[in-house]
Amino acid sequence: MFQTGHHGLEGLGRRLFILGRVLVQLDLHELQAVEHLIQLGGETFGDPGLADVHHRLEVVGLGLQELSLFGCQHGALQSSRVRQGEPKLCIVVAILAAEAPIITKSQEKPMPRPLGIIFAALAAGAALAAPPATLRVDYYHTGTAQAESFAVDRVVVEPLPWPGNLAKSIDDTNRGKFYFEVVDRATNRVLYSRGFSSIFGEWEDTPEAKTSSFTSSESLRFPMPERPVQINLKKRDGQNAFKEIWTFTLDPKADTVDPSLPPGPGGVIALEKNGDPYEKVDFLILGDGYTAAERGKFEKDARRMMELLFSKSPYKEHRKDFNVWGICPPARESGISRPSTGIHRRSPLGCTYDAFGSERYVLTFDNRTLRDVAGYAPYEFMEILVNGQTYGGGGIFGLYGTVASDNAFGPYIFVHEFGHHFADLADEYYTSDVYYETGKARIEPWMPNVTADPKHPKWQALLTPGIPLPTPWKKAEFEKDSHAYQKERRQIRAENRPESEMEALMKREEAKETVHLGQDTWSGKVGAFEGANYEATGYYRSQTDCIMFTRDQVPFCAACQGAIEQIIRLYAK
């Protein structure tokens, strides 16, 4: 089982009483979110009364980023007074003082707690267990295309409680190149599991992996267990079945488990909150390469991208199933690294173009810092906005997505890369240059939107009645146009011409492709169209066009929409 909040029923009773005093309610997860602040305040200031709370707020100062989860602006948190009309700040003050006796202006002695409130607290405590802490294992993944090894780096307790639904702890979606289980050693019961992919998992499919080694920092996050557990890490074999590749034991009470808080990244922005974190998909948008003066730009960019995501089905229909948060640690200078053009930046999250030698691929390899920053918000998924115009992005299932915020096609990239990260959607295109090695045997992919079996695709229930399988389309004509476009694209990059020229080229290509793919015999129908997963032959997609195939103004294909909804159901209550 998982370990619930350490303050238990007594602490819950105190907090419910205090919240009753200010006539505002917080949900249980929000109460837990400031538990570590109460601990911090108690250790630093002793056991102060209400009169000392203003001083405590000022001294803790930048350590209170989590309080923005309750709608408090960071400037208000540093104020020496609680202003009328700021009930959320009043709540926070009350919570931070909850360990102290309750003294009103008209009383010299602590006010007794009414029995009704105490009984209400007892009932709430019986009905709802406080969410457990979030435990994270950071580890190193090292190897080549032929061999790999693992080593634990550190085990940390993140600042916020576990944001997920404990009733949905087992992942049965069959997504990702890797899969891990948390197993109770006493009962051999699987407590938690998730599939995921990784930077190492991508790198090992590059030509470089045949001749050199690579080390990547990776993380496993799960609810704090009550007692020792075994962690089993599995990986797809040659037939795409999961096989165990690493196992280790972990005692959550070991003195090597680090509960200390990492440096604060700045305030957390509640971009959209539709409910308690454990009932929703929690999506975190991070900024990299934004200076302190550009924080307003980040928030504007984040809201623009969020609205674009929720304009696309099925996210549009499931908007209320999401919470969206924002964090933007300030950069010393604007922008991120682009080594191929001699640009190098020490941005807070370490994002860079040219990952794996691909000029448009944007990743960060600084997993430790990324996780420490992200831990200040509830999240299951995250996408990084990099402050720049050059076309680029990336997305890895269960890790993160990236996008250049100022590019004309940034909104498209945001949604496309989030598809990789959120639902493990495969790229359906096959004419673009990629850094992976292609031409391998056509094993049935685990990704939900591509298949090697056109006669019996995994989206068979969605097929248009009577459609031929495989489904014919104007493939040769499309490939001729696309190859000509790719040649011109490479030339623009080789000559380092202005980004406006690249954007103009892409817009011309979009207009041509929209007509070509939208006016074919089986356009808009669900079948099995050859050409997907970086291969011209042997892999098939469900429709002629899709967000995962082109930059055209089209929706996700039927297979992608179904796959996205499956992940939403895994996290939303």
Boundaries of every domain in the chain: 8-127, 133-258, 269-423, 460-553
Q: Are 250 and 296 in contact (CB under 8 A)?
A: no
| pLDDT confidence tier of residue 573, bands split at 50, 70 and 90 | confident
pLDDT digits (tens, 9 = 90+) for 127-164: 446 899 999 999 999 999 999 999 999 999 999 999 99
CA-to-CA separations, 538 to 42, 93, 482, in angstroms, rounded: 63, 62, 19
CA-based radius of gyration for the chain? 25
DSSP secondary structure, 515-567, as one string: HHHHSSTTTT--S-EEEETTEEEEEEESSS--TTT-SSS----HHHHHHHHHH
Is the omega angle on the peptide bond into residue 262 within 30 degrees of 0, that is, cis? no
Q: Give the pLDDT of residue 485.
A: 86
Beta pairing, strands 393-396 & 363-364: unpaired
Alpha carbons 247 and 403: distance in angstroms, whole number = 34
- Topology match between the domains 133-258 and 269-423: no
Kindly state the percentage of the chain with pLDDT values over 70: 77
State if pTM tops 0.85.
Answer: no
In this prediction, residues 309-320 reach a mean pLDDT of 98
Q: Quick one: what percent of the chain has pLDDT higher than 90?
A: 69
Contact 78, 58 (CB under 8 A): yes
For residue 406, what is the DSSP state? Answer: T
**Tokens at residue 452, please?**
């090697």
Q: What is the pLDDT of residues 506-527, one digit of tens each?
A: 899 888 888 889 999 999 999 9
**Number of C-alpha atoms within 13 angstroms, CB side, residue 545?**
22
Token pair recorded at residue 408 = 């004309």
Average pLDDT over residues 170-189: 98
CATH code, 133-258: 2.60.40.3250
318: tokens are 């499931």
Residue 386 β-bridge partners: 288, 404
Structure confidence at residue 133 (pLDDT): 96
| pLDDT at position 87 over 50 | no
Residue predicted with more confidence, 377 or 499: 377
Question: H or E stretch including 16?
Answer: helix 8-22
Q: Tell me the C-alpha to C-alpha distance, in Å, between residue 35 and each of 27, 246, 252, 313, 397.
A: 13, 34, 18, 38, 31
Question: What is the model's pLDDT at position 438?
Answer: 63
Q: For 48-60, how does the pLDDT look when each residue is reduced to its tens digit (9 = 90+)?
A: 333 344 444 433 3
DSSP state of 343: B
Residue 408 CA to residue 49 CA, distance in Å, equals: 54
CATH number for the region 269-423 comes to 3.40.390.10
Q: Which two tokens stand for residue 475?
A: 């493939």
452-511: per-residue pLDDT in tens?
A: 999 999 999 999 999 999 999 999 999 998 888 888 888 998 898 998 998 899 899 888
* Mean of per-residue pLDDT scores for the chain: 83
Closest C-alpha to 181, from 137, 145, 238: 137
Question: How far are the Cα atoms of 141, 179, 228, 530 from residue 244, in angstroms, in the given order?
Answer: 15, 9, 20, 33
Q: Choose among 68, 35, 45: nearest CA to 157.
A: 35
Give the model's confidence band at 16: pLDDT under 50 very low, under 70 low, under 90 confident, else very high: very low
Q: What is the DSSP letter of 289?
A: S
